[in-house]
Amino acid sequence: MPPDLKAALDRAASLTEEAVAKALDGERGAVADAMSYAVVGGKCLRGFLVLESARVLGVDEAAAVPAAAAVECVHAYSLVHDDMPCMDDDALRRGQPTVHKAWDEGTALLVGDALQALAFELVATGPLPPDRRLSLSWSLARAAGLRGMVGGQADDIAAETASHALTLEDISALQRRKTGALIEWSAAAGAAMAGAESGPFETYGRALGLAFQIADDVLDVEGDAALVGKALRKDQGRGKATFVSLMGLDEAKARAEALVTEACDGLSGYGERAETLRQAARFVISRQN
């Protein structure tokens, strides 16, 4: 990983975790403890995208942190719920016991609910002008809800018992919502904060989100569980349609490369200012976890 990208990801993780800790300051009990546990230890890609897109467009970092922390809360909530027995039933996340294993199922359910609520509290109380906070809140709700992540997750669950196999077009549409919606929102958040043209960042985020999911499917086949930090090859065991199962490993990798090129080209108008975002796109398909 390029040093500039590593430093930016590490800073994003530090700032978002600090923002969540500050928001939870004074709260006690299992739910608060598990909320803190759930947001620590990830790549913080979505928070990084918020902060980096804001930096490219001249938004003050302190003004961007609440939105970065918010999307990491939404992402963490989705993982907490996704890991539960009623969903994917996973025991490990980021190399640690999942929340329902470290605590219990009831606590995990409440942790997800509370993280989602905290996300909108963070956006609403940030230092941006009220109209821009409203825009961020509205667009985050769409990206996280039935039109985005939740809708994609519902389609993914339905596909497991569908009477017909999903096509490549079906999988692409599903993953643009399930995985891609929050990534696209994160990439475009800086433009929303700056009141700038969002099109190039949406193009970047849309391509990046799909490349990220293809890379996940490749990792599920080729990855090392010790590095990835969760169980692998579950999709194959369930006979679940993925980019790899539909395209083959080599073609899936080639498609991911093409999407990264598309993402980087989308930011061509920003020159060297956007180089760390381009590095992130290239990292997404070369990562080991």
- Mean of pLDDT values over 27-55: 97
DSSP state of 123: H
The structural domains of the chain, with segments of one domain joined by +, span 3-284
Q: Which CATH superfamily is domain 3-284 in?
A: Farnesyl Diphosphate Synthase (1.10.600.10)
Instruction: Please name the residue ranges forming H helices in 24-57.
Output: 30-39, 45-56
Residue-level pLDDT at 224: 65
Greater confidence (241 vs 169) lies with 169
Which tokens hold the place of 82?
Answer: 């996704």
* Unique residue bearing structure tokens 């991911």: 256
**182 contacts 148 by C-beta, under 8 angstroms:** yes
**137 contacts 120 by C-beta, under 8 angstroms:** yes
**211 contacts 205 by C-beta, under 8 angstroms:** no
Other beta carbons within 10 Å of 244: 22
Residue type, 142: R
Greater confidence (160 vs 177) lies with 177
pLDDT in tens, 212-221: 999 988 988 8
Partners of 92 in beta bridges: 97
Residue 73, pLDDT above cutoff 80: yes
Cα-Cα-Cα-Cα dihedral of 241, 185, 153, 166, to 10°?
-30
Report helix, strand or coil for 96: strand
Report helix, strand or coil for 40: coil
Distance CA 228, CA 216 (A): 10
For 72, residues 6+ apart whose C-beta sits below 8 A from its C-beta are: 16, 20, 39, 42, 44, 46, 47
- Mean of pLDDT values over 24-32: 96
Residue-level pLDDT at 203: 97
Residue-level pLDDT at 46: 98
- Mean of pLDDT values over 74-92: 95
Q: Name the band, by pLDDT with cuts 50, 70 and 90, for residue 238.
A: low
DSSP state of 230: S
DSSP string, 100-111: HHHS-HHHHHHH
Cα-Cα-Cα-Cα dihedral of 95, 224, 256, 263, to 10°?
40
